[in-house]
Amino acid sequence: MRIARYKWISVIAAAVLLLTLALPWNGGKTDMKGFSETAELKGLTVTGVSVKSPDNAVKVFLDTYFGVDFGAYESEKTFDEALARLRRHEASAMWAVDLTADYLCRDGEFSALSPGETPGGGNTRFSFGFAFAPESTGELAKADEWIAKAIADGTAGAARERWAAGNAELPSFSEDGKALYIGVTGTVPPLEIVSPDGSVGGAAVELAGRFAESIGRRPVFVVLESETALVHLMAGKVDMLAAYGTSENHSMEIPKYRMSVGYADVAEYRLVVNEKEVSGLITFMSVIKDNLISGGAYSLILRAVAVTAAITLCAWILTMLFGVLLGYGATGKKRAVSATVRGIAFLLRSTPVLLAMLLLDYGVFGTLHISSTVLAALAVGLYGAGTLAEILTEDDAATEADRTFGIYVKTTVPARLLGAKREWKRLMIGLLQWTTVAGYIGANDLTKVMQGIGNRTLFPVFSIAFSIVLYLVAVLITEVAFSAIGRKKQND
């Protein structure tokens, strides 16, 4: 297996450089200080999880709610990412509802600052309840009844207390009945928690699971991003959300989604600030341990590698099968057919892969609850097929008008691919690289998992660098495979 020497050396050098530079030699930020009043945060950066409102609107809200002119507001896609920023002191404060602030402050790592007097101060500002799509009026009525009972008999309160203490576990739920897909965003711990391995927990999740059982359904939890949770609900990807805000409506517009009564009240928002300093010089071994071993990280990484490999291999297979078909159709005798196929191939290779993924997730298969791994492979594979068809039809095949499909597959395609081996190889490597966006639709691929680990350990640069190294190794393996194919053909 002969791979050009420069490629091996490049990958090894990159690995060493990246992993070395990624070490936090300076021990993180040193210019931290505690805050005892919201006024001290004037001009500083606040973070939080992304919500439906854009960041500039959220800043207007935070400025007026807390009566402070903050310097900037920068949101993160997940609660853990926002918390990681706070832990790294890249933001001076993070907004949270009062019950989340209490949860975060329970062990002294954080403290929370309250606003001044607010309208209706001290009373319930809003509540968290279940959110349903408009057509789910039956489930909504049952949910209202069930929540009222859960509050009255103490079930809801007990669940909240258990999860607030920080050591609860999700009970097992019945496996019987039709699935009820429940969206979980992890935005409001301890109501909703999403762990790095994608497992869920929290009082709202527990209550949602118990509610599903009460109506004879099997709860299936689907992890969603906060910003797009409602969109997924309206698209039918999930049947309900475990936790969303509900209050009296005064806007003269009927919301498209339906809210149950609340099971957890919120009186105010708070600003969570970091009481802990980032530790000093970290040894190389402790970085390896924290990012690759501790907390089951190695298991997460191995599973993520498997997911990435599965998406890549499936995409390659789809690329080859469908790409060959498109190539055959594009060079057919009938102009109408060949023009149509060429048009389809053009669309497939021109549509950005991420947008195709989102279209499949929200639109085409939105209500079918198909695995995001499969959808990612499909999106990447279709792009690959469109590109492969272009490679196969570069010479217009007017002279091959009489060929059959069998000859095309056995003779034409291998010849074309070997003749354009470099482009074919670049395509396959490109497809591998495109799998890195699979996390946008919830697939736990290598990129997403490593990013999550980095947010947890506060060394995101190291985990990103490690991911790059793994992808470079995968590229080398692909190069080896193509080299072997080339040599075999040569020998034949």
Partner 1 sequence: MGAFFALLIKVKGNLSYVYNFFVETRGALKTAYFEAAAEGADAAKPYATAQTDPEKWLLSTTISVNGTEVAEYSRAEEIRFTEEYLDHFPKHEGIITYRGSYRRDVTSYGTPALTDGKFGATWRYRTGRFLKCDGVNYWSGNGWTGQPLAVRWDEATKRHMNLYPEAKEKAGLTEIIYPGMDGKIHFLDIETGEETRPAINVGMCFKGTCSLHPEYPLLICGSGDSATGLFGEQVSARIFIYNLIDGKKLYEFAADDPFAPRLWHGFDSSPIYSAATDTVICAGENGVLYTVHLNSSYDAENGILTVNPDEIVRYKYESRSAEERFESSELSNGSGSESSAVVWENYLFFGDNGGIFQCFDLNTMTPVWVQDLREDINSSPVLETTERGEVFLYVATTLKYYYDEHHTGTAVLYKLNAKTGEIVWQKAYEVHTVLGLAGGFLSSGASGTGKVSDYIYYAVSKVPKVDSSCLIAVSKQTGEAIWQKELACDAWSSPALIYAADGSVKLCQCCGNGDILLMDAESGEILDRVNFGSNIESTPVIFENHLAVGLRSEYIVGVELR
Least Cα distance to 297 among 390, 220, 196, 392 occurs for 196
- Residue 300 interacting with partner 1 (CB under 8 A): no
Residue range at the interface with partner 1 (CB under 8 A); choices 100-108, 122-130, 145-153, 158-166: 122-130
**Stretch 30-49 residues interacting with partner 1 (CB under 8 A):** 48
Size of the site for partner 1 (CB under 8 A): 38
Tell the smallest beta-carbon distance from residue 239 to partner 1 (Å).
20
Among 85, 125, 416, 456, binds partner 1 (CB under 8 A): 125
Among 167, 251, 399, 491, binds partner 1 (CB under 8 A): 251
Give the Å distances, CA to CA, from 467 to 278, 316, 361, 385.
24, 21, 25, 26
- Residue 79 interacting with partner 1 (CB under 8 A): no
* C-beta of 243 vs 324, nearer to partner 1: 243
- Residue 117 interacting with partner 1 (CB under 8 A): yes
**Stretch 265-294 residues interacting with partner 1 (CB under 8 A):** 266, 269
Terminal-to-terminal C-alpha distance of the chain: 16
- Structure tokens given for 207: 């209550």
* C-beta of 51 vs 273, nearer to partner 1: 51
Q: Inter-axis angle of helices 335-350 and 372-392, to 10 degrees? A: 130
Least Cα distance to 197 among 372, 452, 465, 461 occurs for 452
- Residue 64 interacting with partner 1 (CB under 8 A): yes
Tell the smallest beta-carbon distance from residue 137 to partner 1 (Å).
14
Among 16, 25, 52, 165, binds partner 1 (CB under 8 A): 52
Tell the smallest beta-carbon distance from residue 289 to partner 1 (Å).
37
- Residue 95 interacting with partner 1 (CB under 8 A): yes
* C-beta of 122 vs 406, nearer to partner 1: 122
Radius of gyration of the chain (CA): 26
| Beta-sheet pairing, 110-113 with 269-274 | antiparallel
**What's the order of all strands across the beta sheet hosting 179-184?**
218-223, 179-184, 240-246, 126-132, 258-266
Rounded to 5°, the CA angle 157-164-237 comes to 80
Among 34, 43, 54, 419, binds partner 1 (CB under 8 A): 54
Tell the smallest beta-carbon distance from residue 116 to partner 1 (Å).
6
Contact criterion met (CB below 8 Å) for 44 and 491: no
Among 126, 346, 362, 365, binds partner 1 (CB under 8 A): 126
Among 249, 279, 299, 371, binds partner 1 (CB under 8 A): 249
DSSP 294: G
For 344, left (φ over 0), alpha (ψ -120 to 50), or beta? alpha
DSSP 215: T
Contact criterion met (CB below 8 Å) for 471 and 431: no
Residue range at the interface with partner 1 (CB under 8 A); choices 28-36, 119-127, 424-432, 451-459: 119-127
- Residue 58 interacting with partner 1 (CB under 8 A): yes
Tell the smallest beta-carbon distance from residue 265 to partner 1 (Å).
11
* C-beta of 58 vs 378, nearer to partner 1: 58
Residue range at the interface with partner 1 (CB under 8 A); choices 240-248, 356-364, 387-395, 409-417: 240-248
Cis bond leading into 190, ω under 30°? yes
Contact criterion met (CB below 8 Å) for 263 and 128: yes
* C-beta of 40 vs 423, nearer to partner 1: 40
* C-beta of 184 vs 353, nearer to partner 1: 184
- Residue 157 interacting with partner 1 (CB under 8 A): no
Among 65, 346, 362, 365, binds partner 1 (CB under 8 A): 65
| Beta-sheet pairing, 72-76 with 45-49 | parallel
Query: Which segments of 33-149 are extended strands (E)?
Result: 45-49, 72-76, 93-97, 110-113, 126-132
Half-sphere exposure of 121 (CA within 13 A, CB side): 7
Residues forming contacts to partner 1 in the complex (CB under 8 A) are 48, 51-54, 57-58, 60-61, 63-65, 67, 95, 97, 115-121, 125-126, 128, 244-252, 254-255, 266, 269
